[in-house]
Amino acid sequence: MRKRGKRSKKILVIDDEENVRLLYQEELQDKGYEVILASNGLEGLEKLNTHNPDLITLDIHMAGFDGLDILKLIRERSRDVPVILCTAYGEYKQDFRSWSSDAYIEKSSDLNEFLTKVKEILK
């Protein structure tokens, strides 16, 4: 149960797969977080400016601008907001552009690692 008067943390989910966005939204809202959704990187950047999230989850493999390009733009705009890269592709972990993220998680049907990392970063 959340404490009264305490603002819930806002998480911006940027992913081009609707089913992933909705799954993350449901799981994160169940944990008491406010969730903002973006279906691509450019929409995510707009919502970063308007919603001031406490955390961003960012898919790497997206059409148009990929997540690593968006991560660079996020870091140029806001160095302080934590970013969790979420991807189905493990090889991006070796890409130096991913190193400016706060965490790197391979997508899985088991969301325990994802939810644990979110809680750890936002504590």
In this prediction, residue 111 has a pLDDT band, given cuts at 50, 70 and 90, of very high
Alpha-carbon separation of residue 88 from 3, 41, 74, 103 (angstroms) = 35, 17, 21, 14
23-71 pLDDT, tens digit each: 999 999 999 999 999 999 999 999 999 999 999 999 998 888 889 999 9
Specify the pTM: 0.89
Mean pLDDT along residues 94-106: 77
Which of 50-54, 84-88, 98-102 is the least confident region?
98-102
Give yes or no for a contact between 96 and 8, defined as CB atoms under 8 angstroms apart: no
Q: 106: Cβ–Cβ under 8 A, 6 or more apart, which residues?
A: 86, 87, 88, 89, 90
Give yes or no for a contact between 40 and 62, defined as CB atoms under 8 angstroms apart: yes
Across the chain, mean pLDDT equals 89
Nearest to 98, CA basis, from 108, 87, 113: 87
Q: Is the pLDDT of residue 3 over 60?
A: no
Domains defined for the chain, CATH in brackets? 10-122 (3.40.50.2300)
Task: Classify the C-alpha dihedral 61-66-72-75 as positive or negative.
Answer: negative
Helix axes 18-30, 112-122, angle to 10 degrees: 60
